[in-house]
Amino acid sequence: MTRIIDGNDVASDVRDGLGDAIATLEDDGVTPTLATVLMSDDPASETYVSMKQEDCEEVGIEALDVELDPDAPAEKLFGTVEDLNADPNVNGILVQMPVPDHVSNRDVIRAIDPAKDVDGFHPENVGRLVAGDPVFKPCTPHGVLKLLEDADVETEGADVAVVGRSNIVGKPLANLLVQKADYGNATVTLCHSRTDDLAEKTRRADVVIAAAGVPELVDGSMLTEGAVVIDVGVNRVDRDGESTLVGDVDFESAKEVAGAITPVPGGVGPMTRAMLLYNTVMATGRQTDVSVDLP
């Protein structure tokens, strides 16, 4: 029987586990606060940001909602980030990406105080992660590791194929998986759009993590019997005239071969949201010198 890994369940455990840490902070008079900055009128970005704010409010994190006109000059965003960096009541800052074309993504990421960079995208946090001394693990890779932990998947000595080399998922995930640490010690093959014979790489893997942003790229014929399959993809496609969400894995064929698999939706997505809360609580503890136990 193929096990369906339920991301909603694991995310709910993470959120519950954060309750004690948030209560400890409250006892010290500290309310963790996340500032979300949206400089876009893209409906998907607006939805993502409002979901993140709702998640915060549900667990007792204050959400500070900052919205900027997408046509405003870049300086407006940099000034906002500077103010949030300096505000002692703001513990985490998330600038929703993508920002408008006239604003440099790279410069925005660099402008955020690394101590408040709950996305884990700042070069200081990336460098620490690669060096094996991470503070904020990026939310999606961290969520994937939590799913593997919950499903009792042993990564030590395992062959893992990561498909996709983005800065947000593929690269940090590959780095975490090779570290000498819990849920590390794997042998990682990092595959991407120029990889020759992808199926040969995925078929060798005990664990396949699909994060390429290509609908149903990985199917059952590309997996070894019993493989663990983690699908990071969220792709909107048209099926029979209807718009629907599919992952980077062809779920129906993959589940016939896999030992365990995440669905889309309901797999990695809820974990990404939960790990943002985790990083915000962690940031708050570090900034206030309140010792908090994280789940």
Smaller CB separation from ligand GUN, 21 or 139: 139
Report which residue's Cβ sits closest to ligand GUN: 97
Contact 233, 213 (CB under 8 A): yes
125 is a site residue for ligand GUN (CB under 6 A): no
The contacts of residue 15 (CB under 8 Å, 6+ apart) are 55, 58, 59, 274, 277
Q: Which one of 55, 113, 117, 119 is the catalytic residue? A: 119
Site for ligand GUN in 142-171 (CB under 6 A): 168
C-alpha dist (Å) from residue 208 to 14, 178, 231: 23, 15, 8
4 is a site residue for ligand GUN (CB under 6 A): no
- ω into residue 265 within 30 of 0, thus cis? yes
94 is a site residue for ligand GUN (CB under 6 A): yes
Contact 160, 177 (CB under 8 A): yes
> Residues 28-67 vs ligand GUN: string with x where CB under 6 A?
----------------------------------------
Please choose, out of 56-64, 78-86, 94-102, 178-186, the segment that lies near ligand GUN by the rule CB under 6 A.
Answer: 94-102
Smaller CB separation from ligand GUN, 30 or 38: 38
- Given the DSSP bridges, would you call strands 187-191 and 228-231 parallel, antiparallel or unpaired? unpaired
Site for ligand GUN in 201-260 (CB under 6 A): none
Angle between helices 123-130 and 170-178 (to 10 degrees): 30
**Smallest separation, CB 189 to ligand GUN (Å):** 24
118 is a site residue for ligand GUN (CB under 6 A): no
Smaller CB separation from ligand GUN, 168 or 283: 168
SS (HEC) of 28-68: CCCCCEEEEEECCCCHHHHHHHHHHHHHHHHHCCEEEEEEC
